[in-house]
Structure 1
Amino acid sequence: MMYTNVTTITFFVITGFPGLPPKYYALVSVLLFLLFLAIVGGNALIIGVITYERTLHKPSYIIFFYLAMTDISFGIVTLPKVIAVYWWNDVMSSFGACFAQMYFVHSLGAIHSLILLIMALDRFAAVWFPLRYPVVMTNKMVSIACNLCVGLTFIRMVGIVLHALSLPYCNQNVITQCYCDHLSVTQLGCGENVVYVKTVALGNALVSLLAPLSFIVFSYSSIFVAVLKMSHTNRRYKVLSTCTPQILITCLYYVPRCFVYLSHNLGFSLGTDTRVVITMMYSLIPAVVNPVIYCFKTKDIKEVLMKRFKNGRLN
């Protein structure tokens, strides 16, 4: 097949869930809309509580604030378009809009991974260096670290998207996914550089995923070692109770992603429908569940919410 070096595609077609029968379109659109409301509402609640409750102006909760910001941003970037696909049959996405969505999808994913790394570092310092923790992990230092993660990641992802833009797109424009991501878009590219662009993006994705994960595993493993060495049961319980929310949030983010990467590399073939469903689950379910973990597994936030609720009822 002969390919031209000029992009002739002006828009992409978003299929959503490829094998979904039309009779379920209305139901899926309603479910996705409720999911969107849950992501926006739950994470906005966490952002508001941490912002306005001065007792929560601590390093751990600043990290929760940034995680909630990435979750709510990811929901806003991805869900409205796929809801429109099933609600109004608006399947077309302009060329520029698709690449803009790709940029934010991968940027927010990488930022989330780095903030989980900062969270693990925070717990590691609190357990292993409790006397130096107030000096090292200050609100200012955590805010600077999170802002650097955000800024540097947004700068780094510009190169990945521009690399994908260097490919000509001249024959196919159907994206079998619920949103524009790098893999779904670049596999529609033509020319001899497609494999190279995919390889560079894969290397970048593995570094973004595995480098933070390596330290996160090391950090929480060290914390468990420290817990086993503690002689007081109350001290053990306190450490584990403070680390449990972070571990749950980290597992929700990494376990499904690792499953997809391992299954692909071990030769397990996932159908298109299965791949799309799993991608949506590991992309959006953590954003829904995280606020619940913050509220019910984090003592300070739970106490603040209960206090506000009781004061509201009394008033």
Structure 2
Amino acid sequence: MKFRNMTNIKDFIITGFPGLVPEYYGPVSLLLFVVFLVILIGNVFILAVIMFERNLHKPTYWIFFHLAVTDLAFGTVTLPKIIARYWWNDMVSSFSACFTQMYFVHALGAVHSLILLMMALDRFVAIWLPFRYPLLFTNQNVSIACCLCWVLTFIRMMGIVLHASTLPYCDLNIIMQCYCDHISITRLGCGDKVAYVKSVAVGNAMVTLLVPLTVIILSYFFIIVAVLRMPHTERRHRVLSTCAPQLFITCLYYVPRCFVYLANNLGFSFSPVARIIITMTYSLVPAAVNPAIYCFKTKDIKEALMQRFKNRKISITSPLGSVLLRAQ
């Protein structure tokens, strides 16, 4: 059966969590709103700390800066629409709006993967090539590399989205997901090109995730080897304390995705609700948790915040002390 290259639908319907009864709309939307606030406040806070604390103007923290931008942008792109779906029953997303959201969802995910790669290379060079680290990882070089990650990824993802937009969308327009993504949209396409469009997107996704992941695994493997060869326990602890936050952030991003990928390829199928919950979990939990990891697991950020708190405490108590002295 042949389809003409035309699209009959103008809007998509975002279902959110299928089968959710109306009495749970309030709690679910409230939970999503709290997650959005945590992502917004936490990542804006980290961005402000890195920007205004001169002690943090170092390559490692500029990488953290870009990572926080991707987390903040992803939450802003995905959560408001699904919250509106449960607060105001706003389920309709226009054709162009849905494709725009898909573009940013996949572009930000790919940028996030590359920034994690930059983070692993930063620690690898710092430990294995400490004398060359100041030459290779300067603020300027890191800024250029991170900007290239953004620009090249957004250009590449434009091709994937435009490729999906060439499909005819005939009758179906219900997206069984909390936001528009490539799988959910192309599933609604019709015609002979659907399989080809999907295969191109899968190949792109594998390159986007697996190539950085391979380099990241090798980098941390050699870091662990270097740590085990260190003679002093104190130095081992210092290196591990530096790498631990970055490794934890990386695991938060990759482990759930790899689990879903392996489960699908091993024939383990998820129900639509379980699949959506898993997707939302591995998409949003890292964005919400990462700021806390920066603050409590990264020594320089923790010390900068403590110093700022002490200075503020002194500035508050000093006027009170002078008032008491004048009263005496």
- Per the normalisation by structure 1, the TM-score is 0.99
**Unmatched runs of 5 consecutive residues or more in structure 1:** none
Structure-2 separation of matches of 1:130 and 1:6: 58
Q: Which amino acid counterpart does residue 268 of structure 2 have in structure 1?
A: F
Write the letter of the residue equivalent to 2:31. L
| SS of equivalent residue, structure 1 residue 13 | strand
Q: CA deviation at 1:310?
A: 2.5
Answering whether residue 35 of structure 2 is matched by residue 32 of structure 1, we say no
Aligned to 1:296: 296
Return the letter of the residue paired with 1:268: F
Within a 5 Å distance, the mapping from 1:49-64 to structure 2 comes to: 49-64=49-64
Question: 1:307, CA displacement in angstroms?
Answer: 1.7
For residues 69-218 of structure 1, the aligned pairs below 5 Å read: 69-218=69-218
Matches of 1:147 and 1:70, distance apart in 2: 12
Equivalent residue letter for 2:17: F
Query: 2:230 aligned with 1:230, yes or no?
Result: yes
Task: Give the number of aligned pairs.
Answer: 315
Cα distance in 1 for partners of 2:3, 2:282 equals 35
CA RMSD of aligned residues (A): 0.9
Greater shift, 291-300 or 1-10, is seen at: 1-10
Does the 8 Å contact 1:4/1:170 carry over to 2? no
Tell me the CA shift for residue 2 of structure 1: 6.3
SS across alignment from 2:12: strand
After superposition, the C-alpha distances for 1:98-117 in whole angstroms (9 at most, x for unaligned) are 00000000000000000000
Shift of 1:4: 3.7
Deviation of the 1:261 alpha carbon: 0.4
Match of 2:95, as an amino acid?
A: F
Match in the other structure for 1:252 = 252
Alpha-carbon distance in 2 for matches of 1:277, 1:4? 36
Q: Which amino acid aligns with 2:261?
A: Y
> How far has the Cα of 1:309 moved from its partner?
2.0
Report SS of the residue matched to 1:131: coil
TM-score w.r.t. the length of structure 2 is 0.95
Q: Which segment is superposed worse, 79-88 or 4-13?
A: 4-13
For 1:71, give the aligned amino acid.
D
Moved over 4 A (4+): none
| One-letter amino acid of the counterpart of residue 112, structure 1 | H
Note if contact 1:15-1:177 (Cα within 8 Å) is conserved in structure 2: yes
Shift of residue 135 of structure 1?
A: 1.1
* Residues 258-299 of structure 1: per-residue CA shift (max 9 Å, x gap): 001000011101110000000000000000000000000001
| Preserved CA contact (<8 Å) 2:230 2:236 | yes
Q: Hey, what's the Cα distance between the residues in 2 that align with 1:246 and 1:199?
A: 32
| Distance in 2 of aligned mates of 1:26 and 1:239 | 46
Structure 2 CA distance for aligned equivalents of residues 312 and 21 of structure 1? 49
* Aligned residues of 2:2 and 2:192 also touching (Cα < 8 A): no
Alpha-carbon distance between aligned partners in 2 of 1:237 and 1:33, rounded to the nearest angstrom: 39
| 5+ residue gaps, structure 2 | 317-328
CA contact (8 A) 1:14 1:179 kept: yes
SS in 2 for 1:178: coil
Query: SS in structure 2 opposite 1:273?
Result: helix
Counterpart residue type for residue 68 of structure 1: A
One-letter code aligned to 1:56: L
Moved more, 130-139 or 194-203: 130-139
* d(CA) in 1 for partners of 2:182, 2:6: 20
Question: Partner residue of 1:279?
Answer: 279
Aligned residue for 2:44?
Answer: 44
Query: 3-state DSSP class of the match of 2:13?
Result: strand
